[in-house]
Structure 1
């Protein structure tokens, strides 16, 4: 498998840290409290070329791999930011990169690399199917030189801050295919043309500052050349993006975990009770040490997933396990950090409660921990399918 240049990766870390230093805790706290979008941060990250890291050089990107992209998002979170506001731009383009036509790539990738366009949204999940993707009901019917879209999606992020959306829809009804994974297709939707012309967006208020929406498609017409790849092969195509997504989310959780551990360690050293730093007490230091061990272990699985993906191997199992371990480790680190701070952990000015909410999301999304356990049981342990 591919071997990474550690010096180059460290250079990326330094560069991202330098950029993040321009955006203080006050900045991210205000973004969270005002439920706004970090436009300045996104622009800075785009202008510095970090969001186009995986776009090939011929299209204006850096031509880097999943490993380098994972380091970028990890460092954003480790510096106290929220890469959930930008990560869609990284993993949503995988489908276009791997399965788009030459014409589509030439048209879109340079504009994505420059920041002229944003591809922050992916429309897959539906209210009645959840993560049972093969049961989606949103349909795309070919009519001449157009497809007509009807249906509904839910928990679709960043529509308001994206120009394009990857959309998964059924082009062949479920009862007309031999395998339930067949008959779905991927489309690249121009949101400016779609919204108000058959696409309605309804925001969903939620506990995390994660701009999410419910989408309603009512005879939305899109050009036939919006189709990515071959009709009916969308489920297979989207798995490429989902494995990348899970690996990148794992990296974000590792960044969160390290932020919590560093924050807890500093506080445990500085906070004195009964005439001694609380970090001297094993009841404080042991949970922090345990959280550190678990984050470091999860990181190893992250690198295995990156190596397999960047080597062109099937990274499905490693990506799922990396996401599971990292989400669990970051959540444990969050609990330890909050407990270490005591009452001050609930104070907004310490940022622990904000990051606590942000990292909790990844026990549920983009795939729940229970579904990862089902995947491992069935595909790795040869146990009977549980659903």
Structure 2
């Protein structure tokens, strides 16, 4: 096992830090509170070649792997600008199209995803299905040479920023009556597609939507890969989503701990810096250790994915550990700041909102525990 950081990876993280240095926490906090996308930061990362670092070179990407995309995601968050659509557009959608898309589909979508000119949302969750993907009711049926799509999706991120949505739909049943799923690329301006914004109390730049598909007509080439093979394709994309989700959370934790440690060194009460007191220093030290442990698991999961090895257990574990670490880090940072931790000026609360969201999504901690109990410990399935 080699735990050293190569010169190439060190250059990558330094490059991301340099690009995002002009933005930082004040920029992110303003956009989060205004519910406006961090478009300038996204464009800057895209222009520098970081958005599509995992996309093949022949399609304008960096030709690297999930580890490199995870490090871009982590460092972006560590610089104070966590970008949620890196998990969706770059991790899920780009990975799925790179692996299962036709040459024409790759040529159509990957170059624009690689440089950040286009974004793609991902739609799997439904109001009545929740985490039970076998109960997805959104369906696509053959309509001449194309498809007719009907149904609804729930809590879909960034639709207002995207040019298209990668939609999971039911396209039939197998001999045992189990649903067969397929993936479709649906333009966000398709006739018959309507969206309704979900108002959120947490401050986030990315908006959430409910989608309604009413007889949305799709051409034959909207189908990604083989009809009925959607589950395999989806799970190839979900591990990258969990890996980059863990990376984003690790970055948030690093940012919060950096802010807290600086404040604890500078703020004096009773003649000494408040960081002198173990009541504040120990929670920060504990959160720092938890962050390092989550980062190690995230890197292991990325390595497994990049080497074509089973990555489900590691990806889920990394996402679980990183969500806990990030929330503990932010809570310790807020407590270190005292009342200032809740003040607009110090800008910690938007990061709490993002971390709290990612403890629930894209997979809840309870479903991760179910996965580990069933697949790692071989316990009876509980659901």
Same fold (TM over 0.5): yes
Instruction: Give the structure 2 partner of residue 208 of structure 1.
Output: 203
> Which of residues 351, 354, 367 in structure 2 aligns to 1:355?
351
Pick from 357, 360, 368: which aligns with 2:364? 368
In 2, Cα distance between equivalents of 1:98 and 1:54: 12
1:131 is paired with a residue whose SS is coil
2:188 to 177, 191, 207: 191
Matched-pair contact (CA < 8 Å) for 2:182–2:228: yes
Q: Deviations over 1:52-90 (max 9, x none)?
A: 111111111110110010010101111111211443221
Per-residue CA deviation, residues 115-167 of structure 1 (Å, 9 max, x unaligned), is: 44322x00100000111111100010011111111111000011111111110
Distance apart, 1:11 and its partner CA: 0.5
Matches within 5 A, 1:227-376: 227-376=223-372
Secondary structure at the aligned position of 1:126 is classed as coil
Structure 1 residue 5: deviation in Å? 5.7
Equivalent position of 2:39 in the other structure = 39
Counterpart residue number, 2:114 = 113
The CA deviation at 1:238 is: 0.6
Cα separation, partners in 2 of 1:19 and 1:112, compared to 1, 3 Å: same
Which one of the candidate residues 176, 179, 186 is aligned to 1:178? 176
RMSD: 1.6
1:243-283 deviations in whole A, cap 9, x for unaligned?
A: 00000000111111111111111111111111111111111
SS at match of 2:215: strand
Structure 2 CA distance for partners of 1:203 and 1:285, relative to 1, 3 Å: same
Inter-CA distance 349–214: structure 2 relative to 1 (3 Å threshold): same
| Counterpart contact for 1:3–1:307, Cα < 8 Å | no
Secondary structure of the structure 2 residue equivalent to 1:314: coil
Q: Is the 8 A contact 1:154 1:213 kept in 2?
A: yes
Deviates more, 1:100-109 or 1:284-293: 100-109
Unaligned runs of 5+ in 2: none
Report the Cα offset of residue 114 of structure 1.
Answer: 3.7
Map 1:138-177; keep pairs closer than 5 Å: 138-173=138-173, 177=175
Counterpart secondary structure, 1:178: coil
> Could you tell me how far apart the structure 1 residues matched to 2:322 and 2:113 are?
29
Q: CA deviation at 1:204?
A: 0.6
Could you tell me whether the CA contact under 8 Å between 2:46 and 2:117 is conserved in 1? no
Structure 1 segments unaligned to the other structure (5+ residues): none
Whole-Å separation in 2 of the counterparts to 1:68 and 1:340: 33
SS at match of 1:221: strand
SS in 1 for 2:228: coil
Q: Deviations over 1:203-235 (max 9, x none)?
A: 111123131100011111111111011111101
Calculate the TM-score normalised by the size of structure 2: 0.96
Deviation per CA, 1:164-220, whole angstroms, max 9, x where unpaired? 1110000015xx55263x51101111222x1xx111010111123131100011111
Q: 2: CA distance between counterparts of 1:301 and 1:37?
A: 30
CA deviation after TM superposition for structure 1 residue 43, in Å: 1.2
Kept after mapping to 1: 8 A contact 2:55/2:95: no
Q: 1:2 to 1:268 in 2, by over 3 A?
A: closer
Alignment partner of 1:55 is 2:59 = no
Verify the 8 A CA contact 1:37 1:85 in the aligned structure 2: no
Structure 1 window deviating more from structure 2 (257-266 vs 136-145): it is 257-266
Tell me the distance in 2 between the aligned counterparts of 1:147 and 1:200: 18
Partners of 1:38 and 1:85 within 8 A in 2:
no
Give distance in 1, aligned partners of 2:232 and 2:198.
29
Is 1:98 aligned to 2:99, yes or no? yes
Number of equivalences:
380
Q: 1:386 to 1:7 in 2, by over 3 A?
A: same
